[in-house]
Amino acid sequence: MLVPHRESAELTDSLDLISLPNNKNWDGRIAYLDRDGVINIGSEHYVNSPSEVELLPGAGLAIGKLRRAGYRVVVVTNQSPIGRGHWDSENLDDIHAEIRTRLLSEDSDAHLDLILFSPYAPWDGAWARKPNPGMLEAGRQLIDAASIDPDFQGLKLRFDNEWDERPDESTSFMVGDRGVDMAAAENFGVRAIRCDPEIGISGVVDSILGGTA
48-73, pLDDT tens digit by residue? 999 999 999 999 999 999 999 999 99
Are 174 and 189 within 8 A, CB to CB? no
Length of the chain: 213
Domains of the chain, by residue range, sit at 5-209
Please pick, among 34, 109, 113, 181, the residue that the annotation labels catalytic: 34
- State pLDDT tens for residues 99-156: 999 999 999 999 999 999 999 999 999 999 999 999 999 999 999 999 999 999 889 9
Are 195 and 204 within 8 A, CB to CB? yes
* Residue 107 appears among annotated catalytic residues: no
- What is the SS3 assignment for 158? coil
- Give the residue from 156, 212, 208, 165 showing the smallest Cα distance to 33: 208
- Specify the CATH class of 5-209 in words: alpha beta
pLDDT band of residue 38 (cuts 50, 70, 90) is: very high
What's the mean pLDDT when you consider all of the chain? 96
Please pick, among 13, 16, 36, 124, the residue that the annotation labels catalytic: 36
| N-term to C-term CA, the chain | 39
Name the β-bridge partners of 74.
32, 114
* Residue 34 appears among annotated catalytic residues: yes
Please tell me the predicted confidence (pLDDT) of residue 213: 46
Strands (E), the chain: 5-6, 30-33, 72-78, 114-118, 173-176, 191-194
The two beta strands, 5-6 and 114-118, are antiparallel
State which amino acid sits at residue 66.
L
What phi, psi does 139 have (nearest 5°)? -60, -45
Please, is 99 exposed, middle or buried when counting C-beta atoms within 10 Å of its C-beta (0-12, 13-18, 19+)? buried
pLDDT band of residue 87 (cuts 50, 70, 90) is: very high
Q: Residue 178 carries which DSSP code? A: S
- State pLDDT tens for residues 166-187: 999 999 999 999 999 999 999 9
Mean pLDDT to the nearest integer, 77-86: 96
